[in-house]
A and B are shown apart, each in its own frame.
Chain A
Amino acid sequence: MALKTSAPRKGGISRVNGPEGIDSIPLRYGDDPYVWACWLYYEDGMTQGEIAEAMGVSRATVNSYLADAREKGIVNISIEPARLASLTIAQELKRHFGLSDCLVVPNDDDTRPLIGRLGAAGAQALAKMIKSGDTLAVAWGRTILSVGEHLEMASLQDVTVVQATGGTTASFAYTPELTTAAVARAISARCVNITAPAIVASAQMHDMLLTEPLIREQFDTLARANRVVFGIASLRPNSTIHTSGFFESVPLQHYLAKGAAGVLAGRFIDERGRPVAGPLDDRTIGISLEMLRGIGTRVAVAGGFDKVPALLAALRGGYVNVLVTDAATGAGILRADGVTSLDGKLSQRQKSTPVANAYRTHVKKFLNNPNDVVEEMLDGLIAAHKPYLQPIGNSRRALVARNGPRPGKVGLVIGGGTGHEPCFVGYVGKGLADAVAIGNIFSSPPPDPIAKCAVAASGGAGVLFVYGNYAGDVMNFEMAAEIAEEKGIPIRTVLTTDDIVSSPVEDKEGRRGVAGNFFVFKVAGAACDRGMTLDECEAVTRKANDRTYTVGVALESCSMPQTRRHNFEIGPDDMELGMGIHGEPGVSRERIRTADEIVDTIMDNIFKEMKAEPGDRVAVLVNSFGATPQMELYILFRRVEQRLAAKNIAIEANWVGHYCTSLDMVGASISILHLDRQLTELLHHPCQTAVLTINTPETP
């Protein structure tokens, strides 16, 4: 490489300052010899000797300037983050589990399926290890077949590839026979198959087959293996192990019940890597765990979060000494085994001391006894909203709307935990919900108050339950529905699932309900008030839920009255996308951006799912999580309006404020209801509640 030397060389001229003195530093470097040395080295590409000559110092001095400059942070060497991460994870895995080697593929390439990327990496690892004269045992599986497909080595001699287990008659492509054959072909090796079934009908059959000379010879070859490559299967419900047909499902359940965490080469291990005994053990023809562990080079190729417990088990059991996996799985394994130093190493950020936030250990709140917050809030709330609602009997956890329930009308019961105020009590009143069941903070109410609400709301035409899709709420409301139905009240349920980032669209039913509750309650309440049948009420409520799209972002998490500490920390420059309304962590942590950019991310997510045509109408809710002020909500609404206008989508109605909060969380959510004629009518139907009053006939 030709050197570009912009600095004039000064070697040997007037060394007035002695041997280590610098004649004069060119003006542009200030007074800093470190910067000068670094510039010449990194930018101009000079050698250390040339720099010594140019600066008029010794080569050793240049060397120490360059080293010190790294220390002082004058020079930062950065490695592309995804590569750095996978390298760091590989090194940590190698160190933590005492592996002889580890290859981790970065997760920056989502264009290729994981199996293919692992296969390519596994092939790369094998290519470095296999030598002429080796005997390589190969277990079956999708990932290992992929290794075979990516492998290519022509120059080896006398290599034997031997199948590690018996065969199967399954119809999939990654049978033991085909996997072994693919690897053997790729390296032009002799291929030895085990010509017996992997699992036979009885232990006697197993013993008989192993005395058969041909099979015994094949097993002798297997016993000579000095290298083995295998995949690791989990026993999770979505594992191919359940569908592969390799195992019968009844024995699988047995192993699962006994604590099996993973399967290697057809053998079951528990979370510490110990063999799990079961009915298939004596009937399996193939390499034993003991044989496997005796092989010199034991290469495992596997990835995917579901496999973390299985991989960890295999590593703990010492079955693996060369691991090939992907960065996300590798990081997961380390975290699962309690390695916490990783996060620091993965970050390329400057080592700066974090802003001290320890000066305040508690969030300030208006409290008497923290254990009484819910009861005291109910005292105030029942008194404040007396015109709209009243306790059912003497239960303050079940409130009914005054002038709400009436004979012949479908009753609407809503409910959930507290901490979301004005949700849910604020939506109880004529034209909206008939009754509300109230739980503890962020906790579903028990079945009893819900059932009381159902009885109070019932007008003989059935009762509709509408609540957010959370495991706890579902269990309690289901138990309450059973109680109500025993009393002859027909119950229908619509779960709200408006949080579109909480699960992918394929798992729409698994999403949680958040601030979009507002629209779904409004539509349901109007449908009930108009005297629609239970079937019709349920159908239109379901439609409203299907057409409501919410995304939330949190800047700071909330603090419980009892702990007065943030539930978790969101870093000084971070935000949490996909935040729910219970202070639980969101879906992904990202760097905080401008308000417009945040709204754009949210709206892009919503537009991806909402099939709105130009000219369509929507209702908009910009909702504070509790601590975000109205001013910022308007800033968000401004951009929402701009994005909708650009698509020629009209806003039929909008609400900007505190409608469904999460205690004192800093953050906001945006909900869009995609209207049609029926939903528009129901949205405008009159109602009178503590937080929402719409065109009552008296005051149009």
Chain B
Amino acid sequence: MSESAARALAKMFERMAEAIEAEKDHLSELDGAIGDGDHGITMSIGFKAVSAALSALDLDAASPSEVMSTAATGFLDAVGASTGPLYATGFRRAAQTLAGRENLDLPACRDMLAALSEGIRERGKAQRGDKTMLDVWLPAAQAAATAVAEGRSKPDFWAAVTSAADNGAAATATMVAAKGRAARVRERSLGHLDPGATSAAALVRAMAEAL
């Protein structure tokens, strides 16, 4: 890897912002069906703020951990909502696990995914099957752990992670929402993809492309 790990992470956030921008309307549409219709907008505001915060950072001097925690603060200060605390906590946990590391090898990526999903899980007090973004992050983290344990190559690692994420997002259509505003519409949430899970899958794909 010729570029520094901090630069790679910054690039990852850039890709994430692009991915969200591309899916923005689609996400809001999904949210309109079972929520309040603003998920695409909220995510877009959040990742724009992350880009802004990171552009103020000296990437030659910053550590990967600093990049993560800067992203966390930038995201949270811009959006609030429910995605704010969830992703901010996830990024902050990822920052903690990356502390002292200068290399984004596969074990580091695995630990980052694990910390991110664990942070989201704790803050949101949700679990798999609740029709949330966790239905993407938890299987993605699991796939990462399995891929590292099996000594897979880098392309195989990311292929496994993205396919777990995509399957997880698709599966939310079969679930009844148990958390958040969608839980109010009860069984009417069936058949609809969860917008938070859909955007999470887009983020995982962006991660794979950048890293």
Measured between beta carbons, the chain A residues less than 8 angstroms from B84 are 443-444, 446, 472, 475-476
Main SS class of interface, A: loop
B128 touches A256 (CB 8 A): yes
Asked if B90 lies at the interface with its beta carbon under 8 angstroms from chain A, I say no
Asked if A585 lies at the interface with its beta carbon under 8 angstroms from chain B, I say yes
B37 touches A583 (CB 8 A): yes
Query: A44-52, A164-172, A335-343, A379-387: which one contacts chain B?
Result: A335-343
In the complex, A445→B81 CA distance in Å? 6
Asked if A479 lies at the interface with its beta carbon under 8 angstroms from chain B, I say yes
In the complex, A567→B34 CA distance in Å? 10
B interface list, Cβ under 8 A from A: 25, 28, 32-38, 41-42, 45, 76-86, 123-124, 127-129, 138-139, 142, 171, 173-176, 178-182, 184-188, 190-191
A476 touches B85 (CB 8 A): yes
Measured between beta carbons, the chain A residues less than 8 angstroms from B32 are 567-568, 583
In the complex, A271→B171 CA distance in Å? 7
Main SS class of interface, B: helix
* In the complex with contacts A309-B174, A475-B124, A512-B184, A336-B81 CB distance below 8 A: no
* In the complex with contacts A306-B176, A475-B123, A567-B36, A336-B82 CB distance below 8 A: no
Partner pick for B79 among A236, A443, A580, CB 8 A cutoff: A443
B174 touches A336 (CB 8 A): yes
Partner pick for A442 among B36, B142, B179, CB 8 A cutoff: B36
Measured between beta carbons, the chain B residues less than 8 angstroms from A476 are 80-81, 84-85
B181 touches A584 (CB 8 A): yes
Encoded as 1 (CB less than 8 Å from any B CB) or 0, chain A from 544 to 563 comes to: 00000000000000001011
Measured between beta carbons, the chain A residues less than 8 angstroms from B179 are 471
Measured between beta carbons, the chain A residues less than 8 angstroms from B124 are 471, 475
Residue of A nearest to B164 (CB): A259
B175 touches A584 (CB 8 A): no
In the complex, A584→B35 CA distance in Å? 5
Encoded as 1 (CB less than 8 Å from any B CB) or 0, chain A from 119 to 149 comes to: 0000000000000000000000000000000
Measured between beta carbons, the chain B residues less than 8 angstroms from A235 are 129
In the complex, A444→B83 CA distance in Å? 10
Measured between beta carbons, the chain B residues less than 8 angstroms from A196 are none
B36 touches A472 (CB 8 A): no
Partner pick for B128 among A259, A328, A583, CB 8 A cutoff: A259
In the complex, A448→B78 CA distance in Å? 10
What's the minimum C-beta distance from A120 to chain B, rounded to whole angstroms?
Answer: 23
- Those of A559-601 within 8 Å (CB) of chain B: 560, 562-563, 567-568, 580, 582-585, 587
* In the complex with contacts A332-B187, A582-B181, A584-B36, A475-B86 CB distance below 8 A: yes
B38 touches A439 (CB 8 A): no
For the complex of A and B, 5 pairs with smallest distance between CB atoms: A472-B82, A335-B191, A443-B81, A475-B85, A446-B80
* In the complex with contacts A306-B176, A309-B175, A567-B37 CB distance below 8 A: yes
Residue of B nearest to A234 (CB): B129
What's the minimum C-beta distance from A420 to chain B, rounded to whole angstroms?
Answer: 12
In the complex, A336→B85 CA distance in Å? 29
B38 touches A441 (CB 8 A): yes
What's the minimum C-beta distance from A590 to chain B, rounded to whole angstroms?
Answer: 14
Asked if A640 lies at the interface with its beta carbon under 8 angstroms from chain B, I say no
Measured between beta carbons, the chain A residues less than 8 angstroms from B178 are 236
Measured between beta carbons, the chain A residues less than 8 angstroms from B173 are 336, 338
What's the minimum C-beta distance from B146 to chain A, rounded to whole angstroms?
Answer: 10
A560 touches B191 (CB 8 A): no
A439 touches B81 (CB 8 A): yes
In the complex, A367→B85 CA distance in Å? 30
Residue of B nearest to A510 (CB): B183
B42 touches A440 (CB 8 A): yes
B85 touches A447 (CB 8 A): yes
Measured between beta carbons, the chain A residues less than 8 angstroms from B191 are 332, 334-338, 340
Measured between beta carbons, the chain B residues less than 8 angstroms from A440 are 38, 41-42, 45, 79-81
Measured between beta carbons, the chain A residues less than 8 angstroms from B188 are 585
Measured between beta carbons, the chain A residues less than 8 angstroms from B180 are 471-472
In the complex, A230→B82 CA distance in Å? 41
Q: A338-B191, A417-B81 are in contact. List 6 more A-B contacts (CB 8 A).
A: A441-B38, A447-B76, A471-B82, A512-B184, A582-B181, A583-B37
25 contacts between A and B (CB under 8 A): A236-B129, A256-B127, A259-B128, A305-B176, A305-B190, A306-B176, A308-B187, A332-B176, A332-B190, A335-B190, A336-B173, A337-B191, A442-B36, A444-B80, A444-B82, A446-B78, A472-B80, A472-B82, A475-B84, A475-B124, A512-B184, A560-B38, A562-B41, A584-B36, A585-B33
Partner pick for B174 among A308, A448, A479, A563, CB 8 A cutoff: A308
A580 touches B190 (CB 8 A): no
What's the minimum C-beta distance from B163 to chain A, rounded to whole angstroms?
Answer: 13
B34 touches A443 (CB 8 A): no
What's the minimum C-beta distance from A507 to chain B, rounded to whole angstroms?
Answer: 11
In the complex, A502→B185 CA distance in Å? 9
Measured between beta carbons, the chain B residues less than 8 angstroms from A332 are 176, 187, 190-191
Encoded as 1 (CB less than 8 Å from any B CB) or 0, chain A from 236 to 255 comes to: 11000000000000000000
Residue of B nearest to A588 (CB): B188
Residue of A nearest to B76 (CB): A446
Measured between beta carbons, the chain B residues less than 8 angstroms from A448 are 76-77
Residue of A312, A446, A580, A583 contacting most chain B CB atoms (<10 Å): A446
Residue of B nearest to A339 (CB): B191
Encoded as 1 (CB less than 8 Å from any B CB) or 0, chain A from 421 to 440 comes to: 00000000000000000011
What's the minimum C-beta distance from A378 to chain B, rounded to whole angstroms?
Answer: 15
Residue of A nearest to B28 (CB): A563
What's the minimum C-beta distance from B147 to chain A, rounded to whole angstroms?
Answer: 15
Residue of B nearest to A578 (CB): B184
Partner pick for A582 among B36, B45, B86, B187, CB 8 A cutoff: B36
Measured between beta carbons, the chain A residues less than 8 angstroms from B81 are 417, 439-440, 443-444, 472, 476
What's the minimum C-beta distance from A2 to chain B, rounded to whole angstroms?
Answer: 49
* In the complex with contacts A443-B79, A443-B81, A258-B142 CB distance below 8 A: yes
Residue of A nearest to B186 (CB): A305
What's the minimum C-beta distance from A17 to chain B, rounded to whole angstroms?
Answer: 57
What's the minimum C-beta distance from A685 to chain B, rounded to whole angstroms?
Answer: 31
Residue of B nearest to A585 (CB): B185
Measured between beta carbons, the chain A residues less than 8 angstroms from B176 are 305-306, 308, 332
B80 touches A471 (CB 8 A): no
What's the minimum C-beta distance from B102 to chain A, rounded to whole angstroms?
Answer: 30
In the complex, A334→B139 CA distance in Å? 25
* In the complex with contacts A271-B171, A336-B173, A338-B173, A584-B38 CB distance below 8 A: no
Measured between beta carbons, the chain B residues less than 8 angstroms from A257 are 128, 138, 142
Residue of A nearest to B192 (CB): A335
In the complex, A584→B180 CA distance in Å? 11
Measured between beta carbons, the chain A residues less than 8 angstroms from B78 are 446
Asked if A412 lies at the interface with its beta carbon under 8 angstroms from chain B, I say no
What's the minimum C-beta distance from A60 to chain B, rounded to whole angstroms?
Answer: 46
Measured between beta carbons, the chain A residues less than 8 angstroms from B33 are 568, 585
Residue of A nearest to B181 (CB): A584
A312 touches B174 (CB 8 A): yes
Measured between beta carbons, the chain A residues less than 8 angstroms from B82 are 444, 470-472, 475
What's the minimum C-beta distance from B82 to chain A, rounded to whole angstroms?
Answer: 3
In the complex, A699→B190 CA distance in Å? 56
Residue of B nearest to A235 (CB): B129
B85 touches A259 (CB 8 A): no
Encoded as 1 (CB less than 8 Å from any B CB) or 0, chain A from 293 to 333 comes to: 00000000000011011001000000000000000100010
Measured between beta carbons, the chain A residues less than 8 angstroms from B79 are 440, 443, 446
Measured between beta carbons, the chain A residues less than 8 angstroms from B76 are 446-448
Measured between beta carbons, the chain B residues less than 8 angstroms from A439 are 80-81
In the complex, A582→B83 CA distance in Å? 16
In the complex, A141→B42 CA distance in Å? 45
What's the minimum C-beta distance from A273 to chain B, rounded to whole angstroms?
Answer: 12
